[in-house]
């Protein structure tokens, strides 16, 4: 069967008291992540109301005058918090900046987290009193959803169900509202987001239903990822691919420019990049190494890997 859209899975199966339904979810998501690295997930923890609120706040922020937004672009943070202006980021190996501006919300760790690192403070937007609160509420619900997905993957890999919990809770995750402005002239070699793999463990994406997201199938064909309105798109990142010794696939994806007649329409999307604590070892799991699949990567921590990649994509000098 040729896959022309990404598989859809239902988190309610995993959360049910029926062991067969739970196992069905584990098998479906595991197989999808081995095959194409992407799923559309329904029955996550984000309410429609919260999604609507977040979009309202995000649109209001990006509609602010550029000089207002610019005061939230903080030097020295390598783009890890606050505002990142248009064209700053590019795909690894590309010179052209992506046609987007974005914002970063980061982790606000719990008091008992015993972190070995300090996360930068979130940047507060004075002009929009509900912006930060709404953003962090969505952050928590996406983090909660992500932890359940990682539990299912732990079972699929033959690990303890809660293997990822410690690393992902209070991890260095980022919520990134993105604004792709209307395209006003023929872009010179630039697209809304160049072909790339994500750095992190998994990415949970809101807003893919507006179109443009494409995923590279194993045979080299690009396919459109078109979830239902109420589904999140969730994909494997490079950290998880590395940790599972290439068993689960971090698939190359991109956001293409719309057809010319839709150039006047802006696009918004809101990915949540789920990162672990920086000291998490990403060493290839013993469960994923055998004669047919020898160990493919050197040992490295999540923090070292992230640092390396931020330099490659131009956010860190």
Does position 153 have pLDDT exceeding 70, yes or no?
yes
pLDDT in tens, 261-302: 878 888 888 999 999 999 999 999 999 999 999 999 999 999
| CA 70 – CA 86 distance, rounded (Å) | 11
Q: What is the pLDDT of residue 49?
A: 95
| CA 6 – CA 23 distance, rounded (Å) | 20
Average pLDDT of span 81-110: 79
Q: What is the pLDDT of residue 288?
A: 97
Q: Closest Cα partner for 305 from 286, 266, 277?
A: 277
User: Is the pLDDT higher at 190 or at 206?
Assistant: 206
Phi and psi at residue 60, to the nearest 5°? -65, -40
Look up the CATH superfamily of 8-312: B-lactam Antibiotic, Isopenicillin N Synthase; Chain (2.60.120.330)
Q: What is the pLDDT of residue 93?
A: 63
Task: Read off the pLDDT band of 101 (50, 70, 90).
Answer: very high
Average pLDDT of span 177-185: 84
Q: What is the pLDDT of residue 209?
A: 59
pLDDT in tens, 34-83: 999 999 999 999 999 999 999 999 999 999 999 999 999 988 877 789 99
Mean pLDDT of the chain: 90
Q: What is the pLDDT of residue 71?
A: 94
Portion of the chain with pLDDT greater than 90, in percent: 67
**Cβ contacts of residue 192 below 8 Å, gap of 6+?**
98, 99, 100, 180, 212, 255, 256, 257, 267
Task: Read off the pLDDT band of 177 (50, 70, 90).
Answer: very high
| CA 310 – CA 313 distance, rounded (Å) | 5
> Measured at the alpha carbon of residue 124, what is the angle toward residues 277 and 311, in degrees to the nearest 5?
45
| CA 119 – CA 149 distance, rounded (Å) | 24
């Amino acid at each position: 069967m040729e896959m022309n859209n990404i598989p859809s899975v239902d988190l309610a199966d995993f959360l049910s008291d029926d062991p067969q339904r739970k196992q069905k979810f584990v098998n479906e998501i595991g197989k999808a992540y081995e095959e194409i690295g992407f799923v559309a997930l329904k029955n996550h923890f984000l309410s429609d109301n919260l999604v609507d609120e977040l979009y309202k706040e995000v649109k209001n922020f990006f509609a602010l005058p550029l000089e207002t937004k610019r005061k939230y672009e903080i030097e020295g943070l390598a783009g890890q918090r606050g505002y990142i202006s248009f064209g700053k980021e590019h795909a690894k190996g590309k010179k052209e900046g992506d046609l987007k501006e974005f914002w970063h919300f980061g982790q606000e760790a719990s008091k008992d987290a015993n972190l070995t690192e300090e996360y930068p403070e979130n940047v507060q937007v004075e002009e929009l009193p509900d912006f930060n609160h709404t953003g962090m509420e969505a952050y928590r619900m996406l983090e909660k959803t992500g932890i359940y997905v990682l539990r299912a993957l732990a079972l699929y890999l033959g690990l303890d169900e809660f293997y990822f919990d410690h690393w992902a809770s209070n991890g260095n995750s980022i919520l990134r509202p993105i604004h792709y402005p209307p395209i006003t002239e023929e872009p010179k070699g630039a697209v809304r987001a160049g072909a790339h793999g994500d750095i992190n463990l998994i990415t949970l994406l809101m807003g893919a239903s507006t179109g443009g997201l494409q995923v590279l199938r194993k045979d080299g064909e690009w396919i459109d990822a078109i979830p239902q309105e109420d589904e999140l798109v969730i994909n494997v990142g490079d950290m998880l691919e590395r940790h599972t010794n290439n068993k689960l696939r971090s698939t190359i994806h991109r956001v293409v420019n719309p057809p010319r007649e839709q150039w006047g329409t802006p696009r918004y999307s809101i990915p949540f990049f789920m990162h672990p604590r920086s000291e998490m070892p990403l060493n290839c799991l013993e469960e994923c190494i055998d004669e047919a699949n020898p160990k493919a990567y050197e040992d490295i921590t999540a923090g070292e890997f992230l640092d390396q990649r931020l330099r490659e994509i131009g956010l860190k000098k």
